[in-house]
Amino acid sequence: MTLFVRWILPAGICVAGVVMMIASPDIVEAGAMVVGAGLSVWLLNILYRVGVTGDRDRKTEDDARDFFDKHGHWPDEQPPGRG
C-alpha cells in the first residue's frame, strides 16, 4: 500500500495528465493541472516522510535523555570510573 501511495498514485495521475495533453491539444491547460495535482501528491508524501523522521529523531533524543537522567552518562559513553 505504501508503494502505491508514494509512487504509483502520483505517477498514474501525472501520466493521465500527459495523456490528456496528447489526446486533446486544445485543452493542454487541463492536462497541466492534472500533472500538477500528481506532483502535489508526490510532494505531500515527501513532506509527510520528513515530518515523521523528525518525530523519530525526537523520540530517540528523549530516550537518550531519560537514560542520562537514570544512569548519569549518555548511552554511547563509558560509565564513569570505567575507563
pLDDT tens-place values along the chain, 83 residues long: 888 988 999 999 999 999 999 999 898 999 999 999 999 999 999 999 988 888 888 888 999 999 999 988 898 888 877 65
Long-range contacts of residues 40-49, Cβ cutoff 8 Å, at least 24 apart: 41/9, 41/10, 41/13, 42/6, 42/10, 45/5, 45/6, 45/10
Q: Is residue 76 part of a domain?
A: no
pLDDT at 77: 87
Q: Is residue 83 part of a domain?
A: no
- What is the span of the domain harbouring residue 41? 2-71
C-alpha cell of residue 29:
491547460
Q: Is residue 53 part of a domain?
A: yes
Q: Is residue 6 part of a domain?
A: yes
Q: Is residue 44 part of a domain?
A: yes
pTM value surpassing 0.85: no
Q: Is residue 50 part of a domain?
A: yes
Number of domains in the chain: 1
pLDDT at 82: 67
Q: Is residue 39 part of a domain?
A: yes
Q: Is residue 7 part of a domain?
A: yes
